[in-house]
């Protein structure tokens, strides 16, 4: 069986010198889809939908700043400490999803002070939107031939022609479809069960499922760190605190009254 050869032009549209890249278009679609999911839940629960406009601004800033800083500090610290101005050069690539998640949580905390809603209540709803956001972002990584998997002899291996001619695990697609399944599961829990009444429970399920998948898929990824890793990859180490936090939230949610 011949392997699929992936050689997508990173530019989606080019018009009069203006270029729209696949990555940017899919990232924008990720934000827009997550935002619509939040609006749908807000409308269903009779909450102030218009207040989400402010949260969208906070969240975009938090995601970009958090993702950039975590990448610089945890994946290539020696380079960025030697060239601190390069931290601002986000157009050169380098965004860590763990940092993006932390940035979104900080943005939500700032927003929570304005709307006077329980923080864990908001986190439960943000978790559902974040899962579908992650689905599109990993598709963007796939379109951009980045966050590669290790070489494989499996028939579903994909050759990323812009990188080399080795068939590799499509790790981006593994993660993308894992996040899609998690989104479907979380939305079903929100819609059909009473778990949403236990503040923090849905967010706990999100953390456990997402970072369990992340730890497993990291084992077939090419290391993104610029330094030697032992035992676990940088992505796996960064996932462990989130996974532990999810377990704690689930225990707390079911040990206290609604």
CA distances from 192 to 27, 184, 197 (A): 30, 12, 12
Mind spelling out the 3-state secondary structure of 203-225? HHHHHHHHHHHHHHHHCCECCCC
Q: Tell me the two tokens of residue 193.
A: 């069960």
Residue 162, marked binder: no
Pairing of strands 158-160, 4-6: parallel
**H helices within the chain, ranges in order?**
22-44, 52-70, 77-82, 97-115, 119-143, 171-192, 201-218, 234-255
Q: Tell me the two tokens of residue 214.
A: 């992340």
Question: Is 4 in a helix, a strand, or coil?
Answer: strand
The annotated binding site is made up of 138
């Amino acid at each position: 069986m011949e392997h699929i050869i992936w050689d997508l032009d990173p530019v989606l549209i080019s018009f009069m010198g203006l270029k729209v890249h696949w990555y940017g278009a899919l990232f924008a679609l990720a934000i827009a889809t997550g935002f619509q999911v939040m609006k749908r839940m807000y409308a269903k629960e009779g909450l102030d939908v218009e207040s989400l406009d402010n949260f969208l601004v906070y969240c975009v800033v938090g995601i970009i700043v958090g993702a950039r800083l975590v990448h610089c500090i945890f994946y290539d610290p020696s380079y960025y400490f030697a060239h601190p101005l390069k931290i601002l050069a986000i157009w050169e690539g380098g965004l860590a999803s763990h940092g993006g998640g932390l940035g979104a949580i900080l943005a939500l905390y700032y927003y929570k002070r304005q709307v006077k809603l329980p923080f864990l209540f908001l986190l439960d709803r943000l978790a559902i939107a974040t899962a579908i956001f992650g689905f599109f972002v990993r598709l963007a990584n796939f379109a951009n031939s980045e966050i590669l998997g290790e070489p494989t002899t499996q028939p579903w291996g994909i050759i990323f022609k812009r990188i080399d001619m080795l068939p590799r695990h499509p790790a981006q697609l593994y993660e993308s479809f894992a996040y899609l399944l998690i989104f479907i599961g979380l939305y079903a829990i929100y819609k059909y069960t009473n778990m949403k009444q236990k503040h923090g429970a849905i967010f706990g399920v999100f953390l456990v499922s997402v970072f369990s998948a992340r730890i497993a898929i990291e084992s077939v990824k090419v290391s993104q760190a610029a330094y030697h890793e032992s035992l676990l990859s940088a992505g796996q180490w960064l996932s462990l605190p989130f996974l532990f936090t999810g377990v704690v939230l689930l225990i707390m949610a079911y040990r206290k009254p609604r």
